[in-house]
């Protein structure tokens, strides 16, 4: 299996309303997003010959699906009524996100860039959400040649979440054998 990874960075604000520590406050991060794609074989002809997929294709999808709606904006949980009310997010947008259980760009009275989600905008939720978006887009764009292996989201330089996580089997006493 061949794999490639393309990285982008975005700056976005969020808060975790139910958190008992600092993350309950509105704050921002410099997110680093790694999209790892894989293919059983390299392209055998055409402009992508010898590649899994052109890095530019992955960047275009990352930009369209993640950077454009989220960079320099606020990622807001539709259930966080304190923030949705404070920002003047349209009730129709909140209701749509809750009903459809999918994220969308929201309207607000101040003209802020808002990405409204049906989940708390934790690193774990974002990695899964962005994985699902990227997986569908790259599968369609490459006619099934490329699959997403994972999306890794760094919230800080030393804290990240992967989706899906790769489980490594642990070595048990039975696996070690006897000397």
Q: What pLDDT, on the 0 to 100 scale, is given for residue 178? A: 45
Output the CA angle 100-62-89, nearest 5 degrees.
40
Average pLDDT over residues 38-53: 96
Cis peptide before 164 (omega within 30 of 0): yes
Q: What pLDDT, on the 0 to 100 scale, is given for residue 174? A: 52
| pLDDT over 90 at 101, yes or no | yes
Average pLDDT over residues 143-166: 95
Q: What pLDDT, on the 0 to 100 scale, is given for residue 179? A: 44
Instruction: Name the helix (H) or strand (E) containing 97.
Output: helix 91-100
Average pLDDT over residues 81-105: 95
Q: What pLDDT, on the 0 to 100 scale, is given for residue 23? A: 92
Q: What pLDDT, on the 0 to 100 scale, is given for residue 77? A: 98
Instruction: Name the helix (H) or strand (E) containing 163.
Output: strand 159-163
Q: What pLDDT, on the 0 to 100 scale, is given for residue 110? A: 83
Token pair belonging to 48? 């992508």
Q: How far is the C-alpha of 84 from the C-alpha of 75, rounded, in Å? A: 11
What percent of the chain clears pLDDT 90, i.e. is strictly above it? 89
pLDDT tier at 169 (50, 70, 90 boundaries)?
A: low
Q: What pLDDT, on the 0 to 100 scale, is given for residue 165? A: 84
pLDDT tier at 166 (50, 70, 90 boundaries)?
A: low
Q: What pLDDT, on the 0 to 100 scale, is given for residue 19? A: 93
Q: pLDDT tens-digit profile of 117-134?
A: 999 999 999 999 999 999
Closest by Cα among 82, 86, 84 to 96: 84
Average pLDDT over residues 70-79: 97
Rounded to 10 degrees, the C-alpha dihedral 87/156/118/65 comes to 90
What mean pLDDT is reported for the chain? Answer: 93
Q: What pLDDT, on the 0 to 100 scale, is given for residue 109? A: 82
CATH architecture assigned to 2-73+124-168: 2-Layer Sandwich (3.30)
Domain layout of the chain by residue ranges: 2-73+124-168
CB neighbours of residue 122 within 10 Å: 18
Q: pLDDT tens-digit profile of 11-43?
A: 999 999 999 999 999 999 999 999 999 999 999
């Amino acid at each position: 299996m061949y794999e490639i990874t393309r990285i982008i960075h975005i700056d976005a604000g969020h808060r975790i309303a139910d958190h008992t520590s600092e993350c309950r406050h509105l704050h921002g991060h410099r997110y680093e997003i790694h999209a790892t794609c894989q293919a059983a074989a390299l392209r055998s002809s055409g402009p992508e010959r010898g590649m899994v997929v052109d890095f530019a294709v992955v960047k275009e999808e990352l930009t369209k699906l993640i950077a454009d709606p989220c960079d320099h904006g606020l990622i807001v949980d539709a259930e966080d009524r304190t923030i949705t009310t404070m920002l003047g997010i349209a009730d129709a947008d909140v209701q749509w996100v809750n009903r459809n259980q999918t994220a969308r760009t929201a309207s607000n009275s101040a003209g802020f860039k808002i990405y409204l989600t049906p989940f708390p905008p934790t690193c774990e939720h974002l990695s899964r959400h962005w994985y699902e978006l990227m997986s569908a887009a790259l599968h369609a764009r490459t006619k099934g040649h490329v699959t997403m292996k994972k999306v890794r989201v760094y919230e800080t330089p030393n804290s990240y979440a992967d989706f899906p996580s790769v489980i490594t089997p642990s070595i048990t006493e039975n696996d070690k054998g006897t000397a």
